[in-house]
Structure 1
């Protein structure tokens, strides 16, 4: 099969272009050899380096990041598994860091989708065949990614960028991703039923899945290097946004001053970036994202906690809870209301020894 069947090679030219040529060729050579399974809004996904990725987009973007992206100590990288609050956190990070640069009445978030202000790392490199645009951004660079932490090269992890990771209840992730797929799926493809989406998700076959492996990659990193990886929980962000935004600012080295807190700056950032505010802005109602070539409204559905209760059967809930319990032993079960079968925990009175450690206090 011809290489051009998968990705278009960049034009030949200088040494940098030749380097990209090499990556494109390697991508085209590898893709036909990879395991495949059903896609959610694409015909299929491929398993590469332990995760399920789109062959024409995510795999190439990942390879280009691994081969060519040079991170900086001042970089701020928002990392999420898809449908875990990416758009919301993009807005919060941008508004928090730039709070002294813009007036809230004329803020860039009022006229720009958060994606335009916090570029999608692997998407920009893939679309532009180059890192030159990202290299031209002023410091600190705000970037977003879906790449699991374990797939970043060591050179990037050790260069000092700060990662902000947000995870979400997998039951809500499943429903949100399924609803997103309904909008994204081409008309010529048959609808994806919730049952089929559920089976794919449980088997780890979803964009950048398995979901649980994605979460664990950043959880473990947050334990090993808490100064460079902040692990946030979507449900905590929704329940106590002021507390979590202050925690975010502290981690990014831009803590709120007592004066800012008295003047209500934290509250104003939370209000500006709220689902209610962002989803009603004209820019987020009709414009198509240049990163994903998707209408901006598709990124705003409900922004709620617990919508899974309106869609999943008790059998689905039980199976997802069991997978979460087994995969994420010792973490997040209380946050996500995972129903744990205590009879399976007792094991003749012996405590499990494979429980993950809890993060050290800040």
Structure 2
């Protein structure tokens, strides 16, 4: 959406009401610019597109929900700010959830001040995050020299993580999990009807951009980070302009970052056992297993086969991953 287009409440309501819509665990999704946007996030998403002015020094973490965003936020923040952080035992992660340290444009930055939140006083590099697909990002992000870090995850594990995440809300509402409910949402997911999906379009949008401009977009795979965290952290630090020195490597700085930002470490911190970052999300909801290949414990072979069309589209586009079961 161009900055000159109207963004008053009436015009936004009219636009939203004209869009196709579906339900996802009782919440309304709207098909906007080819992706499914939560109704509650529609206005802040449009405000982000319309008003955000990127700086060349900005670093933006992009992802689909439940693909390792919380983990990457802790890693990215610590890498960039490691010279200003105290000892590991006094790390800011003990007092702030990763989502407080790197805020999402559509979930936080523009959600409570839809027009022009004051971002001028944030010192560089400004760290932000988004679930918005690449084609729908503001032009200022695409044309500036700011850098984008994208993290992908096997879509079967992503769905299972989403399933358990949203099920926590339904348990509060008194809804019980059952096979029919899971099949319903699995079918929607594989048809592309899911938060900020379709999964394959989201992934391929950022992947194609990193093929064109690897200096602009760094494409990471969640599974690769789990398998070789040290190698990936060095790559990430180099990309964002904060490479590790030889002395830091010898002093085990990378290993310390891996340890403090690990899922186990984050889950054990008191800040993540209580409280809320988002009004509707308890901090403890943000951490589950984070295991690779855990989908096999939740999906039957016939359920996994529903991903065939999605995986074929990804494969046909030229994307290749040892972590994606291209033949399920």
Question: Deviations for 1:27-55, whole angstroms, at most 9, x for unmatched residues?
Answer: 2111111111122351x211111011112
Matched, 1:90 2:73: yes
Q: TM-score, normalised by structure 1?
A: 0.84
Answer whether contact 1:242 1:267 (CA < 8 A) is retained: yes
Q: 5 Å matches for 1:324-335?
A: 324-329=311-316, 330-335=318-323
SS in 1 for 2:36: strand
Matched, 1:111 2:99: no
Q: Which residue of 1 aligns with 2:14?
A: 29
SS in 1 for 2:82: coil
Consecutive unaligned residues of structure 2, counting only runs of 5 or more, are: none
Answer whether contact 1:78 1:165 (CA < 8 A) is retained: yes
Question: Deviations for 1:2-29, whole angstroms, at most 9, x for unmatched residues?
Answer: xxxxxxxxxxxxxxxxx99834332211
Of the candidates 117, 120, 125, which is equivalent to residue 140 of structure 1? Answer: 125
Structure with the larger RCO, 1 or 2 (CA within 8 Å, 6+ apart):
2
Of the candidates 199, 202, 216, which is equivalent to residue 190 of structure 2? Answer: 202
1:157 is displaced (CA, Å) by 0.8
1:156 is displaced (CA, Å) by 2.3
Cα distance 1:292–1:216, how it changes in 2: closer, same or farther (>3 A)? Answer: farther
Q: Which residue of 1 aligns with 2:163?
A: 178
1:96 is displaced (CA, Å) by 0.4
Of the candidates 49, 60, 68, which is equivalent to residue 66 of structure 1? Answer: 49
Q: Which residue of 2 aligns with 1:12?
A: none
Matched, 1:257 2:241: no
Cα distance 1:270–1:283, how it changes in 2: closer, same or farther (>3 A)? Answer: same
Answer whether contact 2:45 2:106 (CA < 8 A) is retained: yes
Larger radius of gyration: 1
SS in 2 for 1:230: strand
Looking at structure 2, the residues matched to 134 and 122 of structure 1 have their Cα atoms a distance apart, in angstroms, of 14
- Aligned alpha-carbon RMSD (Å): 1.9
Of the candidates 116, 131, 150, which is equivalent to residue 165 of structure 1? Answer: 150
Q: Which residue of 2 aligns with 1:101?
A: 84
SS in 1 for 2:7: helix
Looking at structure 1, the residues matched to 174 and 13 of structure 2 have their Cα atoms a distance apart, in angstroms, of 26
Cα distance 1:196–1:271, how it changes in 2: closer, same or farther (>3 A)? Answer: same
